[in-house]
Amino acid sequence: MKTIKWTLMFIMAMPFLSSTMVQAASVQTMQSCQGLIDFLHVKLKASTDRYSSGDIKAVSQGLNVYNTFIQRDVVTPGLLKYSKGDKAQAQSLQDQVDAFRASIVKNYSVRFPENKLYMDFVVALNNCTKDAAPRGDELETLKASMMKMVELIKAS
């Protein structure tokens, strides 16, 4: 219960995060976050008997927004910087990132075989936002998604 309270407190504080946090986020860290998001999508698709389609849609929407933000603001620019602007090399690096993300999904699937959400997922997602969090409407959509996840977990 304490974890839920602290998570909710951080989710509410997310709008006050500095925009410099995006610059501090590494591609390596954020590809792990994208792997978590990919895994959560797999879990949600497999949990239609447990959660309503509206709840799944609400959670998925925030995850999609956050994934797009991570790719657009952290991963793509980071790979281009690392490759010194060489787009072919950046694409090759993106392929490696995608393969790593797939391995993260497999690892989570072994650890959490049940088709339901756990507080561990919200905490891990919350930890990702400590490194890079969107702003404005994107942030609000992500917050709503995380709050919906907490609500679904509490109801289980």
Residues 69-89 have a mean pLDDT of 95
Q: Scan for tokens 């239609």, then name that residue.
A: 48
Spell 57-66 as b/e; 16+ CB within 10 A means b.
Answer: ebbbebbebb
pLDDT over 90 at 14, yes or no: no
What span, in angstroms and rounded, lies between the C-alpha atoms of 148 and 56? 9
pLDDT over 50 at 20, yes or no: no
Q: Scan for tokens 């905490």, then name that residue.
A: 123
Between residues 8 and 153, the one the model is more confident about: 153
pTM for this structure?
0.85
The tens digit of pLDDT for each residue in 25-60 reads 799 999 999 999 999 999 999 999 999 999 999 999
Q: What is the pLDDT of residue 11?
A: 53
Residues 63-68 have a mean pLDDT of 98
The pLDDT-based confidence of 3 (bands split at 50, 70, 90) is: low
pLDDT over 90 at 19, yes or no: no
The tens digit of pLDDT for each residue in 96-145 reads 999 999 999 999 999 999 999 999 999 999 999 999 999 999 999 999 99
Note whether 68 and 137 are within 8 A (CB): no
* H-type alpha helices, 83-118: 87-111
